[in-house]
Structure 1
Amino acid sequence: MNDSQRIKVLFVCMGNICRSPTAQGVFGKVVREAGFAERILIDSAGTHAYHVGEPPDPRAQKTARARGIDLGDLRARRALAEDFRAFDYVLAMDQDNYAHLARICPRGMEGKLRLFMEFAPELRIREVPDPYYGGGDGFERVFDMVEAAAEGLLAEIRRRYPEVAGG
């Protein structure tokens, strides 16, 4: 399957070292376990260039490893307006990053931009909190939230694109 036939998902936070690589790793695991790894392309980016080229935060990597996910190969990059052309979903972790992405979103592509937590309405949480300045328990909480939203996102993709994701 070539890239034009795949569903493409981009997760975005501020620096691309905590929340968005966590979402990339968790969603990647959910997609692999469902047997759709060849059908769904997953990436992450940051709205700011603070950490371009850096791996995810060591605390995010540690939490991920404890849950059977390896984030070690990921490297931070900055989100670009071109990402809206390349991806089917551009998912912001919080309202601030959503607003930044809305400013760079090309006209006509606004429907691709959403808050990631929309896919876990049962949690009644709109934003994934930034765990960067907190302790390790913040990363655990983020992983729990992201896991719920990842399952909801896959369910949406399966409904919306049955020809690609076997809905």
Structure 2
Amino acid sequence: MSFYLTLLIFHIFSAMVWVGGMIFYVIVVIPVIRNPELKDQKLRLLQLTATQFRNISYYIFFVFILSGFGLLFEKGYFQFGFHWDFWTSNISLMFMTKIGLFTILFLSSLYHDFVTGPKTFSYLKTDPVRFERYRKTSSFFGRFNLLISVTIAILGILVSRGFSIFP
């Protein structure tokens, strides 16, 4: 198996775990913890699952970065100088958009995972007003990250087929 194919498999599986995990969280975990039977355990369950997914996420981000740049390198875009014909094409705009969105996703995830998420749980018992504010902010960033992730996945599918959304 070629190195390119190995990188591609890692890149695709990482995307599957990341986007699939986020969708699973939204359509399975959140509705389950809203069940009235889990009223006393719901926030602890949310905190534990969020922490576990966060721990996995940064390994996935690392694999994305390595495999993504490895794929570009294997295709020859970083070898033997800068390829102006590629980097000025419509497909390169797709790559750059994808990399830009990934950067936004990474920074947004850092903020969600290490600022708003932990503050939400820290104010749970001490300050209901701040708890609600951070809960809403965390929820917004979680949804925002899902939207960005799905957009990146769609751009990846399109660019792999040689299709550009840019004229």
Q: Please report the TM-score for the alignment, with normalisation by the length of structure 2.
A: 0.35
Which structure carries more helix by proportion?
2
- More strand by proportion, 1 or 2? 1
